[in-house]
Amino acid sequence: MQFKIYKRLNTLLWAMLAVVAVFAIVVLLNFSYFSPYLIIIFVAMFGYNIICFLVYKSIEKNWDKRLIQKMAINNQVVIANIKSSKLAFQFRDSSNIRYGMWEITVDYIDHDMSTHEFVIYEKLSVNVEHIPLGTVFMTNDNNKPGHKFIVPNVIVSHIETLMPVVQNYEKQKKAYIKYLNVYYNNGLVIETFAQSMKKQNTEN
């Protein structure tokens, strides 16, 4: 889903720029007509650009997080075991922050304890160089199979209604579980708890 969001954000950005370009061309081609209103046009275009920038920034920052939060509240969360991963490409957002788009192959276990293989694209911190094998939480909606995100642990731990779902997985013998630490830090970070502890000890 992150890859779809990335493409849709690019489409939205180009659409906003296209509106500005078309309007500028219209003004230039009819300059004599619009010349008495240049100040008004300039102010209007400036306001339009500011509004578009703020709207774009808000969508860029919150789109995925709102979807994840909504699906988690609706108990649309499963466990997934990471089988393999590779960096697909790097990109920058509108704040010039770099991210890595990773292609991650997982086996996820639905609420009926059936296992499915799926390839998910996730926006990770540019500092992530390797994703360890292990278990993560992932959103899953049977009616929207493409709406899959890896869920930070803190979201799962703060939603009480998810606890029965998690406990049900943990008591199933067929559900191999080796939890990884997943959190936000200018993009998602996926690492073992031992790696997280080592980082904390180094910082202290």
**Do 119 and 164 lie in a common domain?**
yes
Mean pLDDT of successive 10-residue stretches along the chain, which has 204 residues: 82 89 88 84 89 89 90 94 96 90 95 93 94 96 90 93 91 84 94 88 71
The model's pTM: 0.84
**Do 91 and 144 lie in a common domain?**
yes
CB 132 within 8 A of CB 190: yes
Q: Cα torsion for 57, 89, 191, 162, to the nearest 10°?
A: 50
What local confidence, expressed as pLDDT, does residue 13 receive? 87
* Encoded tokens for 7: 């493409």
**Do 180 and 107 lie in a common domain?**
yes
What local confidence, expressed as pLDDT, does residue 172 receive? 83
Query: Which of 21, 20, 97, 16 is closest to 54 using CA atoms?
Result: 16
Give the angle 154-160-165 at the CA atoms, nearest 5°: 90
Which of 70, 104, 124 terminates a domain? The answer is 70
How many structural domains is the chain composed of?
2
Residue span of the structural domain in which 137 resides: 76-203
Which of 34, 50, 70 terminates a domain? The answer is 70
- The radius of gyration of the chain from alpha carbons, rounded to an integer in Å, stands at 22
What local confidence, expressed as pLDDT, does residue 124 receive? 96
Quote the CA–CA distance of 53 and 71 in Å, as a whole number.
27
**Do 80 and 35 lie in a common domain?**
no
**Do 48 and 94 lie in a common domain?**
no
Q: Is 198 helix (H, G, I), strand (E, B) or coil?
A: helix
**Do 62 and 80 lie in a common domain?**
no
CB 42 within 8 A of CB 128: no
Quote the CA–CA distance of 85 and 106 in Å, as a whole number.
9
